[in-house]
Structure 1
Amino acid sequence: MAFAPQETSLVSEQNIHSNRGGGKQYILPFILVTCLFFLWGMAHNLDSILIPHLKKACQLNNRQSTLVDTAVFLAYFLMAIPAGAILKKWGYKSSIILGLLVFASGAFLFVPAANTRAYEIFLVALFIIGCGLTILETAANPYAAVLGDPAGASTRLNLAASFNGLAAMVAPIIGTTFILSGKEYSKADLDAMPDAERLNYFMTEAASVKMPYIVLGSVLVVIALLFYFMHLPEVKAVADTKTESRAGFFEVLKHKHLSWAVAAQFFYVGAQVCVTSFFIRMAQQGANVDEKTAGYYLTVYGALFMGGRFVGTALLKFIKSHNLLSIYCILSILLCVVSMLGEGIHVIYALGGIGFFMSIMFPTIFALGISNLGEGTKAGSSWIIMSIVGGAILPYAMGTIIDMNGDNIQIGYIVPLICFVIILYFGMKGYKPSEISK
């Protein structure tokens, strides 16, 4: 299947500097796009609350609970090519509006899912949300990258993604306050309950998700309306003549640095989702804290993730992005070892550290991956977004390992450790652009 964008997403330096006064027109669009990073960050980080919550409300094992991640990230894989085609045909603005409305429809579907306590409906709702997120990210990531000088693409992406990091702190607070009840019963306690009382407990737990997702869906509709009535420049830039590239959807993978970026993003997203999905249960096991306290520790984790984004954005002014990525990978590997072998509160500290050092990985891998692709930038963007399917596969593998080892959460963290080793290779060698012949 060929995929040839009608216009390139790459803005040449000559084009930028030929109109110095025109840079101001990009300020408001960049602010609006940055809001999108926050919104999809809210969706992803609420999943970290949903996994232990629905595990309890719907009586699931670890592997089954990770289907929350599978539903969302499978949508990324299946929707990546259609999202790229939508972006090609409709442009940035219309694609963003569509993504917001699809996202909102999935959020509203949480109401019937909670009313029936049907895990399958929750998964359908999450899949629809994932489809909306795919359209949003396919449009917003490259749009943020091209709204200015190409040399600052990585910095702009990290700045916008910092608000995704803000969501990593806000979402756990909302989820812990309005979704988690703090009420937990052993299997023996549940078996001893009268049927009516036990059913009421499960239904009450399931119902707690309705209000947060109704509010989220309503906000998304309002933001979609705002985008509809705002003027956004559709960047139509010239290709970089110094770069030989092909716009074909599959041919663009001949750029080895893009292929490695796709692999690196697959393992990065898998690692991040693994860490956050099991964070609450790890805190409960490792530090012997209750559900609510573990949820607030997840908020601290989110704050560290957000802080890492801002610190990383500042450091990128002095350290090359691939070098910073490599340093952060090495530190994350060491912290994974601590989380696996440590005890008590030190395990939570290690996980918080991993959050800090993971913070710049997604936008940095993305920017390095689409570098020098010329007319293949949109196709490359679709491939990298499609690689987010790692978030559907690796947490399921981690849940399986945990279930096979007597519900030992710590041993499961071998999965993100391996992921960081692969990302380290990309940061040290795989990122290097290579020319391809016509």
Structure 2
Amino acid sequence: MDTSASSLADREPSELANVPAAVVPRRYLLAFILTTCCFSMWGFANDLTNPLVKVFKEVFQISNTQSSLVQFAFYSGYFTMALPAAFFIRRFSYKGAIMVGFALYAVGALMSIPASLNTNFWIFIAGFYVLTFGLAFLETSCNPYILAMGPAETATRRLNLAQAFNPIGSLTGMIVASLLIAPALNIGSFRDAVENRDPAAVQYLQAEYPDGLPDFATKFNALDQATSAGLKNMKATAPEEFLAIQTHDLAVVRTPYVAIAAVALAFLVLFAVAKIPDFRQPERDAPFFEIVGRLLARPNFREGVIAQAFYVGAQITCWTFVIHYGMEQVGLTLAQAQNWNIAAMVIFLISRFICTFLMHYVSAGRLLALFAIAAVGFTLGAILLPGKTGLICLVLVSACMSLMFPTIYGIALKDLPEEEAKLGSAGLIMAIVGGAVLPLLQGKFIDELGVRSSFYLPLICFVVIALFGIRTFTKFERPAVATDH
């Protein structure tokens, strides 16, 4: 069965002459560029939010498990809204869904204003939940929209190319967190004061350390524990001083969210006026449950959804808790630990472009399996090797993760007709709920087992992805290289 993405009407003249198909046909270039910008937009939100798990733990004086609710709310929004987004696309268009996505993105980001003014953790949580309603609309629409912008045989490469710009947004979010948020936080200044044994900070630690503070240089996690204890005692004995820290730090957190809301609204207007294709089908789609049944009968889709849930969980745990790892195992400050996160994202970005190139020569499933096996090895290094060596291993996991999301996505939707791709995209976006559940579990593991042992959780995820990759190229994958027709 032919689709709008692979019909003769959609093909370049070179394709009809048995020349390898273009990754992005010329007539879709404007739509491709605008849509690719969306990938950067949700990358920014994802990686601006990751460090807040650690920040909110101190600002609100809550446990790692409780602070992980930030990620739970953030990624639960995807699960909640992906299916409604698919219904919207079925009724209207990809372009309309993208516009709704930007509107919800802006509303969620602007909820940081009442949350910070009221020093209310739960309003922040609600804001992240609503913000990801918008991201669910964007991802549910943008991914299949990119797949539709050209021939089917280059669809996975095209999506990898578009997804390669997602880390640019992620990197921007990390840089904002590292250079603008972390240095401006009063909790960071308090941590420095504890490390330097400033009497203004040490006064809140006398009850905890009657014999004097430990040697922070030789005892991992001691500085982090002392900082938390000091802030806890300040909250109990000097609530006005602690409230001043809270108010200041939450205002610092609020600023980039207000800015990104303005950018989201600007993109909404841009898409409203741009003339780009919507790929509407003249005939009505088949009934919902009929399409779901057809999707579930396809092993590449069914297993792809499972693999995607494990991948997103692994990605979010590795990127969220690298902050904890750096601070607790290496004794870094928040800003220094975030710099390691930035290094991970730079590696991720470079690796994604490399993988897009390699897919012209190596099948997607085979490449996925190889990189997942490498990720297992690096994760074991983060678990078993102490200090900075383990941190380096954790950062190198990002090189392995770079191709996973778009490759699993492309394999799962391979050869699907348009009406199935719309709902199939929603299923894969709903799988992002793995990013809600696994960080919550890992936060609990950190509280009970320590940060290094908690990385057995993403290790299991990479094993599942490796198995999917192996099954993909042995059972139901065709070569990724375009062939003559």
TM-score for both structures, normalised by structure 2: 0.83
In the TM superposition, 1:379-394 aligns within 5 A as 379-394=423-438
Which 4+ runs in 1 deviate beyond 6 A? none
Gaps of 5+ in 2: 16-23, 192-226, 284-288, 478-485
Counterparts of 1:259-408 in structure 2, within 5 Å, are 259-374=302-417, 375-405=419-449, 408=450
Contact 1:167-1:302 within 8 A present in 2 as well: no
Which 10-residue stretch deviates more, 83-92 or 423-432? Answer: 423-432
Q: Distance in 2 between matches of 1:105 and 1:202?
A: 23
Matches within 5 A, 1:209-288: 209-236=253-280, 248-288=291-331
Q: Hey, what does 2:75 align to over in structure 1? A: 73
1:16 paired to 2:10? yes
Aligned AA (1:206): L
In structure 1, the gaps of 5 or more residues are 1-6, 240-245
Contact 2:78–2:132 (CA<8 Å) still a contact in 1? Answer: yes
**Alpha-carbon separation, structure 2, partners of 1:266 and 1:107:** 25
- Aligned partners of 2:56, 2:3: CA distance in 1, in Å? 40
Q: Is 2:451 aligned against 1:409? A: yes
Deviation at residue 247 of structure 1 after TM alignment: 5.6
Aligned-partner SS, 2:461: helix
Give the distance between the partners of 1:179 and 1:218, measured in 2 at CA.
19
Question: Is the 2:61–2:231 contact (alpha carbons within 8 Å) kept by the matching residues of 1?
Answer: no
Question: What is the SS of the residue equivalent to 2:278?
Answer: coil
Q: Match for 1:196: what amino acid?
A: E
**More RCO (CA 8 Å, sep 6+):** 1
Pick closer, same or farther for the CA change 1:255–1:206 going to 2, 3 Å: same
User: Which of 420, 424, 432 in structure 1 is aligned with 2:466?
Assistant: 424
Partner of 2:177: 175
- Count, aligned residues: 420
Q: Tell me the alpha carbon deviations over residues 71-96 of structure 1, each in whole angstroms, 9 at most, x when there is no partner.
A: 11111111121110011111011110
- What is the letter of the counterpart of residue 153 of structure 2? A
Q: Give the superposition deviation at 1:327.
A: 0.5
1:155–1:313 CA contact under 8 A, matched in 2: yes
Query: For the residues of structure 2 that align with 1:139 and 1:430, how far apart are their CA atoms?
Result: 25
**How far apart are the structure 1 equivalents of 2:290 and 2:405?**
23
The corresponding residue for 2:35 is 33
Q: How many Å separate the matches in 2 of 1:119 and 1:322?
A: 42
Paired amino acid for 1:340: I
1:49-76 deviation digits (Å, cap 9, x = unpaired): 2111111111121111111111111111
- Please identify, of 267-276 and 190-199, the stretch whose mean Cα deviation from structure 2 is larger: 190-199
Question: Once the 2 structures are TM-superposed, how far is the Cα of residue 414 of structure 1 from its aligned partner?
Answer: 0.4
AA paired with 1:428? I
Please identify, of 324-333 and 54-63, the stretch whose mean Cα deviation from structure 2 is larger.
Answer: 54-63
Deviation at 1:217, TM superposition (A): 0.3
Partner of 1:4: none
Q: What does the per-residue CA deviation read over 1:307-336, in whole Å, with 9 as the maximum and x for residues that have no partner?
A: 111111111111111011000000000001
CA shift in 2, pair 1:45/1:28, >3 Å: same
More displaced 10-residue stretch of structure 1: 214-223 or 47-56: 47-56
Instruction: Provide the C-alpha distance between the structure 2 equivalents of 1:395 and 1:346, rounded to a whole number of angstroms.
Output: 23
Which of structures 1 and 2 has the bigger CA Rg?
A: 2
Q: 1:359 to 1:74 in 2, by over 3 A?
A: same
TM superposition shift of 1:206: 1.5
Tell me which residue corresponds to 1:131: 133
Is 1:142 the counterpart of 2:144? The answer is yes
Cα separation, 2, equivalents of 1:367 and 1:178 = 36
**What fraction of aligned residue pairs are identical, expressed as a percent?**
30
> RMSD across aligned C-alpha pairs, in angstroms?
2.1
Tell me which moved more, 135-144 or 76-85.
76-85
